[in-house]
């Protein structure tokens, strides 16, 4: 089993922050448009993945074009490409009508994923690949969370290094830019192999804003988003 360290140690940008320190695009960045859509320049390159631009979150594909009017895992992008905040994106209308969000099954529109809000799901399997946290609960102030990705398929899987953390509050999941980490790196997971990685909460902008409660981490493996949950508690029983 190989160990992957996803945290880039860059002293100048290590701010006390949330599990996801989203890359904020600097002054040298510039929006561009052609017949295919919008992209955002970053020096001699272009944005890929999640980016925070003027206080809003955007998602750029591998080709650099901004996505809009679509879902990225559990998150909805509006017509302008910006993340629509504070929406329980995968809750169907029928489930909303039940009126009991504490026992709601949150599911993707294609039916491939389901999470029950009454439980903490620290392990998630889809298409033969499993994302698992080391524990389902951590003490408030925990700086790092270890996770494992097991590829039980006969094909190589690629895992993006970036991730998003959401908090369950007021009967819905909330996503904030300070709980997002953007990273262009990718890790190859060989068939029948397990990789170990670390999510560093202490390098995120919102680290000091964590309070006891339920959280979830979303990571992209292949073309799918994998989501696992964990609790932060004042103390473990």
160 neighbors 49 (Cβ within 8 angstroms): yes
Answer yes or no: is 55 within a domain.
Answer: no
Does the pLDDT at position 92 exceed 80? no
What is the overall mean pLDDT for the chain? Answer: 75
Q: pTM value?
A: 0.54
Q: What is the CATH number of the domain that holds 217?
A: 2.60.40.2550
232 neighbors 208 (Cβ within 8 angstroms): no
The Cα diameter of the chain in Å comes to 57
Answer yes or no: is 37 within a domain.
Answer: no
Predicted confidence (pLDDT) per residue in 148-177, tens digit: 999 999 999 999 888 888 888 887 878 777
How many helices and strands (H and E) does the chain possess? Answer: 1, 20
- Expressed as residue numbers, the domain containing 211 is 2-23+104-233
Position 166 scores a pLDDT of: 86
Answer yes or no: is 115 within a domain.
Answer: yes
- Cα–Cα distance between 82 and 213 in angstroms, integer? 26
Confidence of residue 59 (pLDDT cuts 50, 70, 90): confident
More confident residue, 148 or 44: 148
End-to-end CA distance of the chain: 31
Indicate the number of domains in the chain. Answer: 1
């Amino acid at each position: 089993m190989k160990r992957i360290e996803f945290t880039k140690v860059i002293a100048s940008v290590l701010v006390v922050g949330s599990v996801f320190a989203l890359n904020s695009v600097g002054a040298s960045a510039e929006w561009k448009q052609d017949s295919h859509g919008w992209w955002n320049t970053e020096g001699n390159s272009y944005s890929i993945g999640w980016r925070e631009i003027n206080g809003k979150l955007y998602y750029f594909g591998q080709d650099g074009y901004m996505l809009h009017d679509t879902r990225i895992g559990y998150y909805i992008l509006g017509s302008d490409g910006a993340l629509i905040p504070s929406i329980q994106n995968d809750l169907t209308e029928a489930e909303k009508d039940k009126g009991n969000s504490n026992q709601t099954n949150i599911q993707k529109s294609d039916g491939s994923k389901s999470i029950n809000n009454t439980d903490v799901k620290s392990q998630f399997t889809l298409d033969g690949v499993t994302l698992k946290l080391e524990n389902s609960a951590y003490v408030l102030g925990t700086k790092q969370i270890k996770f494992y990705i097991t590829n039980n398929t006969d094909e190589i899987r690629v895992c993006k290094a970036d991730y998003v953390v959401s908090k369950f509050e007021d009967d819905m999941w909330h996503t904030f830019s300070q709980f997002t980490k953007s990273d262009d790196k990718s890790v190859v997971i060989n068939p029948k192999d397990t990789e170990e990685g670390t999510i560093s909460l202490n390098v995120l902008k919102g680290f000091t804003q964590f309070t006891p409660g339920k959280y979830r981490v979303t990571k992209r493996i292949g073309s799918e988003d994998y989501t696992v949950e964990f609790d932060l508690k004042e103390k473990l029983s």
